């Protein structure tokens, strides 16, 4: 803690971090330590309660009943970009009018596939990329974590420089902590990464493929 | 999280799971305010439904501050509880009722205490501080989160990164957090000195 806040505040904050200075006022330290204990206990109890609580299914049913949330089936198939593309080509799961013309959709898909095959650079066919999303982090299992992480960092930097923090973890894994924004979410979605921001940050773990 | 609700599909599923976990804070707060676990859970569900209803109108940011998603969620949760308490007021006696006799007031306080695992009966300095922290975290959820980061021993640069502030501004912010917390726990000082 630096010199530009008062000594009392500095001592209090250091005590809160569990490192009470020896020359600190005992009352200041005692207060900070009591706050430390209270905050830690509160957080532990909230986490335990969150793990115990079991009302999410009931809530999902209510949200679906009130039309505030798509059905689980719809969610399972996805109603984002992929579903829109499927819908456009008549391969969707919904009841949109384009679905009445699956033949046109199939023909368009075939034509597009041929066009893309001719124009796109050759991809490495043997790189196993597994995308797994959860509420807190997206885990990418790839052959070369360094290269994939750098690719994402470069993409994010183009949108918002300094929005991403890269941390190298053990076993060759890399953690990317990205400050959330609409542009970041759009970029990640384009990369097939569906991430939910927690406290303003999206976390991506890039881990090496086990051979 | 709010943006994910608006996107629908799998993102919405993730958002619901994350929001329900987050709502453990609200459930705790409702119980702290003397409501039963069942009522607290009902209010949690009502809060989340309201969040889904109004997610499209949320214009704040994901960071820290008055317009943050965290502050917005807490506002909805507290308004939901206040609506419930107002609705109950016509059917129940209140501690604020001037006509309430001392005996009836004591009985009501005892009943509220029996529903409240976190207070309001204060036995020690630590209980006093814990109760202060509960109130502080509901009034200033972002500041409570910043103090948790300090508690975890994160360096100033990391905290600054998370809350979108420079190193100097983060130090000032943490110092302000201490000052904002003070009114919630200043009455505990005597107990701490004892």
pLDDT in tens, B54-100: 988 887 765 666 567 888 999 999 999 999 998 887 666 666 666 66
Say which DSSP state B173 is in: H
Question: Beta-carbon neighbour count of residue A99 at 10 Å?
Answer: 16
Question: Beta-carbon neighbour count of residue A67 at 10 Å?
Answer: 8
**pLDDT tens digits, B108-140:** 776 666 666 555 555 688 999 999 999 999 999
Which residues have a Cβ under 8 Å from the Cβ of B108 and sit 6 or more positions away? B93, B95, B100
pLDDT band, very low/low/confident/very high, at B179 (cuts 50, 70, 90) = very high
Cα distance between residue A83 and residue A89, in whole Å: 10
Q: Which residue of B has its CA nearest to A48?
A: B24
Lowest mean pLDDT: which of A67-76, A124-133, A145-154, B56-65?
A124-133
pLDDT band, very low/low/confident/very high, at A193 (cuts 50, 70, 90) = confident
Q: Does the bond joining B101 to the residue before it have cis omega, within 30 degrees of 0?
A: no
Identify the helix (H) or strand (E) that includes residue A208: strand A201-208
* Sign of the torsion formed by the C-alpha atoms of A53, B5, B161 and A129: positive
Structure tokens at B109: 């306080």
Lowest mean pLDDT: which of A31-35, A88-92, B83-87?
A88-92
Q: Is B183 in contact with B135 (CB distance < 8 Å)? A: no
pLDDT band, very low/low/confident/very high, at A116 (cuts 50, 70, 90) = low
In angstroms and rounded to an integer, the radius of gyration of the C-alpha atoms of chain B is: 19
- What are the beta bridge partners of residue A132? A139
| B70/A133 Cβ within 8 A | no
Structure tokens at B61: 């940011």
pLDDT band, very low/low/confident/very high, at A86 (cuts 50, 70, 90) = low
Cα distance between residue B101 and residue B95, in whole Å: 10
Min Cα separation B33/chain A (Å): 15
Give how far the C-alpha of residue B39 lies from the chain's centroid of Cα atoms, to the nearest Å.
Answer: 16
- What confidence score (pLDDT) does residue A124 get? 40
Chain A interface disruption, residue of B5, B9, B117, most A CBs within 10 A: B9
- What confidence score (pLDDT) does residue A110 get? 74
Nearest to B45 among A50, A62, A69 (CB): A62
Q: Is A35 in contact with B181 (CB distance < 8 Å)? A: yes
pLDDT at A120 over 90: no
| A27/B189 Cβ within 8 A | yes
- What confidence score (pLDDT) does residue B88 get? 84
Which residues have a Cβ under 8 Å from the Cβ of B52 and sit 6 or more positions away? A63, A68, A69, B5
Q: Could you give the percent of chain A with pLDDT greater than 70?
A: 69
Lowest mean pLDDT: which of A88-92, B107-111, B183-187?
A88-92
Nearest to A59 among B9, B18, B20 (CB): B20
The verdict on B146 touching A (C-beta cutoff 8 Å) is no
- What confidence score (pLDDT) does residue A52 get? 85
Min Cα separation A114/chain B (Å): 30
Residues of chain B contacting A62 with CB distance shorter than 8 Å: 45, 49
Nearest to B62 among A27, A56, A180 (CB): A180
Interface confidence: ipTM more than 0.85: no
- What are the beta bridge partners of residue B26? none
Cα distance between residue A88 and residue A99, in whole Å: 8
pTM over cut 0.80: no
The verdict on B38 touching A (C-beta cutoff 8 Å) is no
Matching residue, tokens 């006093």: B128
> Which of the pair, A53 or B100, is modelled with greater confidence?
A53
Cα distance between residue B169 and residue B11, in whole Å: 33
**pLDDT tens digits, B2-35:** 778 888 788 888 889 889 999 999 999 999 999 9
Average pLDDT over chain B reads: 84
DSSP string, A148-165: HHHHHHHHHHHHSTT-EE
Q: Could you give the percent of chain A with pLDDT greater than 90?
A: 23
Average pLDDT over chain A reads: 75
Chain A interface disruption, residue of B15, B22, B24, most A CBs within 10 A: B24
- What confidence score (pLDDT) does residue A117 get? 61
- What are the beta bridge partners of residue B68? B61
- What confidence score (pLDDT) does residue A106 get? 65
- What confidence score (pLDDT) does residue B122 get? 53
Which residues have a Cβ under 8 Å from the Cβ of A9 and sit 6 or more positions away? B174, B175, B178
Chain B residues 175-194 with CB within 8 Å of chain A = 175, 178, 181, 185, 188-189, 192-193
| A60/B162 Cβ within 8 A | no
> Which of the pair, A152 or A89, is modelled with greater confidence?
A152
Parse chain B into domains and list their residue ranges.
1-121, 122-194
Nearest to A31 among B1, B52, B185 (CB): B185
- What confidence score (pLDDT) does residue B96 get? 67
pLDDT band, very low/low/confident/very high, at A6 (cuts 50, 70, 90) = very high
Q: Is A200 in contact with B63 (CB distance < 8 Å)? A: yes
Cα distance between residue A29 and residue A128, in whole Å: 53
């Amino acid at each position: 803690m630096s010199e530009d806040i008062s000594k009392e505040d500095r001592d209090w904050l250091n005590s809160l971090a569990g490192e009470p200075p020896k020359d600190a006022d005992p009352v200041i330290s005692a207060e900070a330590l009591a706050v430390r204990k209270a905050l830690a206990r509160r957080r532990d109890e909230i986490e335990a309660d969150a793990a115990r609580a079991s009302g999410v299914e009931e809530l999902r049913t209510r949200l679906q009943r009130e039309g505030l949330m798509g059905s689980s089936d719809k969610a399972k198939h996805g109603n984002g970009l992929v579903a829109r593309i499927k819908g456009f080509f008549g391969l969707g799961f919904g009841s949109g009018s384009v679905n009445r013309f699956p033949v046109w959709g199939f023909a368009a898909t075939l034509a597009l596939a041929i066009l893309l095959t001719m124009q796109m650079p050759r991809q490495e066919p043997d790189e196993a990329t597994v995308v797994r999303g959860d509420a807190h982090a997206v885990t990418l299992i790839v052959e070369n974590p360094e290269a994939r992480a750098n690719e994402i960092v470069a993409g994010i930097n183009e949108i918002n420089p300094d929005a991403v923090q890269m941390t190298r973890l053990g076993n060759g894994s890399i953690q990317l902590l990205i400050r959330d924004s609409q542009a970041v979410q759009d970029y990640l979605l384009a990369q097939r990464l569906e991430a939910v921001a927690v406290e303003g940050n999206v976390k991506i773990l890039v881990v090496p493929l086990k051979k | 999280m709010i943006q994910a609700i608006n996107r629908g599909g799998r993102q919405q599923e993730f958002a619901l799971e994350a929001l329900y976990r987050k709502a453990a804070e609200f459930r705790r707060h409702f119980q702290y305010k003397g409501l039963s676990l069942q009522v607290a859970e009902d209010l949690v569900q009502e809060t989340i439904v309201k969040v889904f209803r109004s997610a499209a109108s949320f214009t704040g940011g994901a960071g820290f501050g008055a317009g943050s998603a965290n502050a917005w969620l807490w506002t909805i949760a507290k308004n939901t509880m206040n609506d419930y308490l107002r609705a109950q007021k016509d059917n129940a006696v209140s501690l604020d009722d001037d006509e309430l006799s001392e005996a009836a007031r004591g009985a009501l306080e005892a009943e509220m205490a029996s529903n409240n695992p976190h207070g309001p009966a204060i036995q020690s300095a630590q209980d006093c501080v814990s109760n202060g922290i509960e109130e502080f975290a509901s009034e200033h959820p972002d500041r409570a989160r910043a103090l948790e980061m300090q508690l975890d021993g994160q360096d100033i640069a990391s905290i600054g990164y998370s809350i979108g502030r420079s190193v100097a501004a983060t130090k000032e912010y943490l110092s302000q957090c201490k000052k904002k917390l003070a009114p919630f726990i200043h009455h505990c000082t005597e107990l701490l000195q004892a």
